[in-house]
């Protein structure tokens, strides 16, 4: 077990700052050392302070001739970090977006210090190792390699480490309202799809996200008679919420595929074996009965379950204020994730029909973000990413992907700018479950491979045509 001590991190800084002379073997290994350093800068959100991330990255980019620009927010310790490597301007910029904040931890459930930057057994451990400080390290190192190797560029390459992606207000949408000129690009890379490793370490598939699910909050309000707890009435608001919850527990939304999620499931059918391969094939092309059976079996994996339908998760129940009063109202909040193209109003009507309860009102809570168009897999950036993934992991299938959660890509996609998402390192399904969980980790070798792949993608998309 190697812990990144202060002396080692000075060494890391020396290696990273040294530029071209120190290249070769350290080029990509230093991605893991940079990640360890980034993990030690605790940017859990809340409060999501990202200034320390900017302090680590600033000198590394400046030393290589990037223009560094740190955008403050109304919260002084929360910043967006830009580093731009100038090209000859003949094409529009390529942007690399990586969020610098992370979610918090349940510290007692970790076997290592989640903010220690621990490297052991060939992996970097810590909060954000996968989501998304690993991405910062890979994107940053790949961009720095362009400068180190003096690759002539047709377009600027912009690296952006963002604040407030993990559900807070000063995010990229905020940034786009204030500083669109700094983030305008022809296309962007972001978090999203997966490079999934099999048990034997070989890569099964590379999924590149082209769209995200749309988040909707729904409030269900129950109205009953408020009265003395000694004389209960049938119209108890809490009981009505209970009925709604029981119905939701037994309800399942229908299967729904987008063109890209259909491609993803086709890839799963192709890269799986035996019974699993047969189930994926039946899911897409079987009889209604076969599809139902395949759905029930495959849905035991919560990720797969979420990718083929709208999901409805009850998240908050509120009601009651003292033990001898029956409250006149109670409220249930649902977190709904919609497949792109799905009609939010239709889902509300489905819920009303499901509950069929005069005590209940179902309403969308807050504003629903505009639907983002899917980014086309015919884009130069997608094609380059797919080709370089195939070159890096020849045994893998590459597919577009509908991301099951939300990201901050909407700031670009809503302006018609394609964003492609990838967690740029091979991970196993066990490691995937540790994201936002305990002992989050990514292997040093995966970081090395990811850096190579992203570097070659950047070179292919941004490199001057004469140098390719």
Where do contacts with Zn ion occur on this chain (CB under 5 A)?
A: 131-132, 191
* 164 bridge partner residues: none
> Measured from the CB of residue 130, what is the shortest distance to Zn ion in angstroms?
8
Question: Facing residues of 157 across strands?
Answer: 85, 94
Q: Are 173 and 372 in contact (CB under 8 A)?
A: no
Q: Which is nearer to Zn ion, 166 or 388 (CB)?
A: 166
**423, 426, 430, 434: CA torsion to nearest 10:** -30
| Shortest Å, Cβ 81 to Zn ion | 16
At closest approach, how far in Å is the CB of 192 from Zn ion? 9
- Nearer to Zn ion among residue 102 and residue 244 (C-beta): 102
β-sheet bridge partners, residue 124: 119, 442
318 CB-side CA count, 13 A = 8
Work out how close the CB of 309 gets to Zn ion at its nearest, in angstroms, rounded to a whole number: 22
Is the Cβ–Cβ distance between 411 and 160 less than 8 Å?
A: no
Q: Smallest distance from the beta carbon of 261 to Zn ion, in angstroms?
A: 20
Helices (H) and strands (E) in the chain, counts: 15, 18
CA distance 277 to 242: 39
DSSP string of 346-361, one letter each residue: HHHHHHHHHH--TTEE
* Smaller CB separation from Zn ion, 79 or 220: 79
Q: How far apart are CA 264 and CA 269, in angstroms?
A: 9
Q: What is the DSSP letter of 287?
A: -
Q: Which two tokens stand for residue 117?
A: 């930057």
Q: Minimum CB separation from Zn ion for residue 449, in Å?
A: 20
Least distance in Å: CB of 362 to Zn ion?
A: 30
Task: State which H helix or E strand residue 278 sits in.
Answer: helix 274-285
CB 237 within 8 A of CB 328: yes
Complex with Zn ion: residue 191 or 212, whichever CB lies closer: 191
């Amino acid at each position: 077990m190697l812990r990144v001590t202060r002396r080692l991190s000075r060494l890391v800084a020396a290696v990273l700052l040294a530029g071209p002379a120190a290249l070769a073997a350290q080029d990509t290994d230093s991605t893991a050392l940079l990640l360890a350093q980034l993990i030690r800068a605790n940017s859990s959100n809340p409060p999501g302070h990202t200034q320390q991330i900017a302090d680590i990255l600033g000198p590394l980019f400046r030393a290589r001739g990037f223009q560094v620009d740190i955008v403050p927010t109304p919260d002084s310790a929360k910043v967006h970090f830009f580093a731009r490597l100038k090209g000859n301007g003949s094409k529009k910029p390529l942007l690399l977006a990586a969020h610098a904040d992370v979610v918090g931890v349940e510290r007692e459930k970790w076997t290592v210090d989640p903010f220690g930057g621990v490297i052991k057994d060939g992996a970097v451990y810590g909060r954000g190792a996968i989501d998304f400080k690993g991405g910062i390290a890979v994107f940053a190192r790949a961009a720095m390699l362009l400068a180190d190797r003096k690759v002539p560029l047709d377009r600027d390459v912009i690296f952006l480490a963002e604040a407030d992606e993990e559900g807070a207000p000063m995010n990229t949408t905020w940034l786009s309202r204030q500083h669109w000129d700094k983030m305008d690009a022809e296309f962007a890379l972001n978090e999203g799809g997966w490079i999934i490793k099999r048990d034997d370490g070989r890569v099964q598939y590379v999924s590149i996200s082209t769209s995200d699910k749309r988040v909707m909050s729904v409030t269900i309000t129950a109205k009953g008679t408020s009265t003395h707890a000694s004389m209960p009435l049938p119209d108890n608001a809490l009981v009505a919420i209970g009925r709604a919850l029981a119905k939701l527990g037994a309800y399942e939304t229908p299967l729904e595929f987008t063109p890209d999620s259909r491609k993803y499931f086709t890839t799963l059918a192709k890269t799986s074996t035996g019974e699993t391969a047969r189930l994926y094939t039946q899911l897409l092309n079987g009889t209604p009965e076969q599809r139902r059976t395949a759905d029930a079996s495959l849905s035991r994996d919560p990720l797969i379950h979420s990718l083929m339908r709208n999901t409805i998760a009850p998240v908050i129940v509120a009601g009651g204020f003292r033990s001898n009063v029956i409250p006149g109202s109670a409220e249930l909040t649902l977190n709904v994730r919609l497949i792109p193209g799905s009609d939010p109003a239709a889902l509300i009507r489905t819920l009303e029909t499901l509950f069929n309860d005069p005590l209940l009102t179902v309403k969308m809570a807050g504003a629903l973000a505009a639907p983002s168009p899917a980014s086309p897999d015919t884009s130069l950036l997608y094609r380059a990413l797919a080709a370089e993934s195939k070159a890096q992991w020849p045994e893998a299938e590459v597919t577009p992907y509908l991301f099951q959660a939300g990201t901050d890509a909407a700031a670009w996609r809503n302006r018609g700018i394609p964003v492609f998402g990838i967690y740029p390192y091979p991970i196993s399904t066990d490691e995937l479950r540790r994201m936002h969980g305990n002992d989050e980790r990514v292997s040093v070798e995966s970081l090395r491979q990811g850096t190579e792949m992203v570097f070659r993608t950047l070179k292919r998309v941004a490199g001057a045509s004469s140098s390719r």
